[in-house]
Amino acid sequence: DVKVTQSSRYLVKRTGEKVFLECVQDMDHENMFWYRQDPGLGLRLIYFSYDVKMKEKGDIPEGYSVSREKKERFSLILESASTNQTSMYLCASSPGTLREQYFGPGTRLTVT
Amino acid sequence: QKEVEQNSGPLSVPEGAIASLNCTYSDRVSQSFFWYRQYSGKSPELIMSIYSNGDKEDGRFTAQLNKASQYVSLLIRDSQPSDSATYLCAVNIRTGNQFYFGTGTSLTVIP
């Protein structure tokens, strides 16, 4: 079975803090993704990566950055957390172009 | 127009009935289509993938794709209370790795 893990299930941070969300997959997948999910807005793509050290902006990259130093690990960084970044953050991985995505359990981030 | 649209529901069906979930998409060149199930407070779980026109069956689930009409549907036969969840449709847009998700249809199966 594909396994995607995320570093925290719940996280509470203060406005202005730098926040790191970690994602690890164990299936040697090429592609990895970061989404946020908000009620009524669905899943929105923040960033994705199709190779080590490669990254592409999704639909809502503002206020976020990513890092992929190893194939199995994809990190999402909130440079200066704001209250409008309170959300559920979901990481996913995929074996290749146009293929299915497998999701981690999610991190519910609250910024106060 | 949104890239992927679903009726948000809620959709209620009695136990044992067929649940029908629909999704339309905007990009004619889309090639990959997926259905995910998401229980409250959990992450999406892949149910079905479909890549070519027609029907694809997996147990109680059938995905139907009609590229000419740009819709994809999911049928759940013999619906069970455990099928109560939100169902997300996902479609690749243009080429490459980016997928768009619908906002989901909430399904309740009534015992």
Write down the pLDDT at residue B29.
79
Residue A8 has what DSSP assignment? Answer: -
Kindly state the tokens that stand for A107. Answer: 């991190």
Contacts of B95 in chain A (CB under 8 A): 97
Q: Are A31 and B97 inside 8 Å of each other by CB?
A: yes
Q: Quick check: B42 and A106 CB within 8 A?
A: yes
Pick from B89, B80, B79: nearest CA to B7:
B89
Length of chain B: 111
Q: Is A40 on the interface with B (CB under 8 A)?
A: yes
B32: its two tokens: 């990959």
Q: Which residues of B touch A40 (CB under 8 A)?
A: 103
pLDDT > 80? residue A18: yes
- Indicate the residue of A42, A48, A98 with minimum beta-carbon distance to B103: A42
Pick A40's closest partner by Cβ from B36, B46, B103. Answer: B103
Does the structure show a pLDDT above 90 at A101? yes
Residues of A in contact with B106 (CB under 8 A): none
Q: How far apart are CA A104 and CA A101, in angstroms?
A: 10
**B97 vs A50, more confident:** A50
Is B43's CB within 8 Å of A103's CB?
Answer: yes
Q: What is the pLDDT of residue B9?
A: 82
Judged against a pLDDT cut of 90, whether residue A2 lies above it is answered with no
Give the C-alpha separation, B38 to A39, whole Å: 13
For residue A98, pLDDT over 90 is answered with: no
pLDDT digits (tens, 9 = 90+) for A53-93: 899 999 899 999 999 999 999 999 999 999 999 999 999 99
pLDDT on residue B94: 61
Structure tokens that stand for B40 in this block:
């409250």
List strand residue ranges (DSSP E) for chain B, in order: 4-6, 11-14, 19-25, 33-38, 45-50, 54-58, 61-66, 71-76, 85-92, 99-101, 105-110
CB contact under 8 A, A42 and B31: no
Q: Give the chain B residue whose CA is nearest to the CA of A55.
A: B97
* Dihedral, CA of residue A106, residue A76, residue A59 and residue A36, to nearest 10: 20
Taking only the tens of pLDDT, chain B with its 111 residues reads: 678 999 878 999 999 999 999 999 987 777 899 999 999 999 999 999 999 999 999 999 999 999 999 999 999 999 999 999 999 999 987 655 678 899 999 999 999
